[in-house]
């Protein structure tokens, strides 16, 4: 298997706070990898470092063998990494349709974009019914669907998902995870950050556990699901 993304020795600081301390992580093409850990462990920071919203103080990030550590955020998307951020961050004053169209901002293949739009409406029929609605007036679950669909509009090879289940009713969470599995089957590689460790472990191939900015454990998701330490710390 080929490594799609590889992080070496990555450290990120916010002023005096060391949010990430020399973490190493890789993702193979076609995998779902999940990153779990307590609040403030540095999960979102890891995703932000990959999509270049924060500057690392040390370490390297390779994507398809290329060093992208210093690339600008808007170029990262164009190279095939899409980030659906924590808190969804839909453009509240724009319609659902405009949000999706802007998701494809880096592309110029009109027909392909059109086809992908229809594809999102097929995956998320609720978005299709609300395409002219302002995104700020969508429900939390619909906004999450929009955030994922918008990320997909860039036709990513690697999808970074930050807590897609946050604050959603159990029924909606299941819907969203069904979509994540479906995307995986279609060949999208996924790095999933989750609070819901149980669901994340059931969905992913491999797991990294982050504690206070350091990776403490990694392994096969199915195995860690039955691991005593993991059960106690994260699965309650």
Partner 1 sequence: MDITLFLQQFLNGLSIGSVYAIFAVGYTLVFSILGIINFAHGAVFTLGAYFTYFLSGGAVGTNGLLANLALPFQFSFAIALLLGSILSGLSAIAIERLAFRPLRLKGADPLLTLVSSLGAALVIVNVLQYLVGAEIYTFSEGIYGDLPASINLGTAERPIMIRTVQIIIFGVSAVMVGILTYGIGFTRMGKALQAVAEDATTASLLGIDPERFITLTFFVSGFLGGMAGALVGSSVSIASGPYFGIAYGLKGLGVIVLGGLGNIPGAIVGGMVIGLAEAFVPTDFSGYKDAIAFAILFVMLLVRPQGLLGRSRIQKV
Ligand X SMILES: Nc1ncnc2c1ncn2[C@@H]1O[C@H](COP(=O)(O)OP(=O)(O)OP(=O)(O)O)[C@@H](O)[C@H]1O
Residues that bind partner 1 (CB under 8 A): 51, 53, 72-75, 77-78, 82-83, 85, 89, 91-94, 98, 101-103, 105-106, 136-137, 150, 154
Binding of residue 37 to ligand X (CB under 6 A): yes
CB proximity list for 112: less than 8 A, separation 6 or greater: 155
What strand order describes the sheet that includes 206-211? 81-84, 158-162, 189-194, 32-37, 206-211, 214-220
CB of 162 to partner 1, least distance (A): 11
**Partner in contact with 39, chosen from Mg ion, partner 1, ligand X, none, beta carbon below 5 to 8 Å by kind:** ligand X
CB of 75 to partner 1, least distance (A): 8
Binding of residue 175 to Mg ion (CB under 5 A): no
Strand partners, 189: 158
Helices (H) and strands (E) in the chain, counts: 10, 10
Residue whose CB is less far from Mg ion, 38 or 97 = 38
Residue whose CB is less far from Mg ion, 36 or 127 = 36
Residue whose CB is less far from partner 1, 21 or 98 = 98
What strand order describes the sheet that includes 3-14? 17-28, 3-14, 58-63, 66-67
**What are the DSSP calls for 207-228, one per residue?**
EEEEETTEEEEEEEHHHHHT-H
Strand partners, 190: 32, 159
Binding of residue 105 to ligand X (CB under 6 A): no
Binding of residue 165 to Mg ion (CB under 5 A): no
Strand partners, 5: 27, 63
CB of 72 to ligand X, least distance (A): 19
**Partner in contact with 94, chosen from partner 1, ligand X, Mg ion, none, beta carbon below 5 to 8 Å by kind:** partner 1
CB of 184 to ligand X, least distance (A): 22
1-30 residues near ligand X, rule: CB under 6 A: 14, 17, 19
Question: Which phi-psi region, left, alpha or beta, contains residue 185 (left: φ > 0; alpha: ψ -120 to 50)?
Answer: alpha
Binding site residues, Mg ion, CB under 5 A:
44, 86
């Amino acid at each position: 298997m080929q490594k799609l993304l590889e992080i070496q020795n990555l450290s990120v600081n916010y002023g005096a706070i060391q949010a990430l301390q020399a973490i190493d992580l890789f993702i193979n093409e076609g995998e779902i990898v999940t990153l779990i850990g307590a609040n403030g462990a540095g999960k979102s920071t890891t995703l932000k470092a990959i999509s270049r919203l924060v500057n690392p103080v040390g370490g390297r990030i390779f994507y398809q063998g290329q060093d992208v550590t210093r690339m600008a955020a808007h170029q990262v998307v164009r190279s095939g990494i899409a980030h659906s951020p924590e808190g969804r961050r839909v453009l509240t004053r724009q319609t659902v349709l405009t949000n999706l169209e802007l998701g494809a901002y880096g592309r110029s293949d009109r027909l392909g974009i059109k086809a992908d739009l229809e594809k999102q409406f097929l995956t998320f029929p609720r978005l299709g019914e609300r395409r002219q609605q302002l995104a700020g007036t969508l429900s939390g679950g619909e906004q999450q669907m929009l955030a994922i669909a918008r990320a997909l509009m860039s036709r990513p090879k690697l999808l970074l998902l930050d807590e897609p289940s946050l604050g959603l009713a159990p029924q909606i969470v299941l819907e969203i995870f069904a979509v994540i599995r479906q995307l995986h089957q279609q060949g999208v590689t996924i790095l999933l950050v989750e609070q819901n460790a149980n669901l994340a472990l059931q969905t992913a191939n491999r797991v990294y556990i982050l504690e206070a900015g350091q990776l403490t454990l990694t392994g096969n998701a199915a195995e860690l699901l039955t691991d005593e330490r993991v059960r106690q710390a994260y699965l309650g």
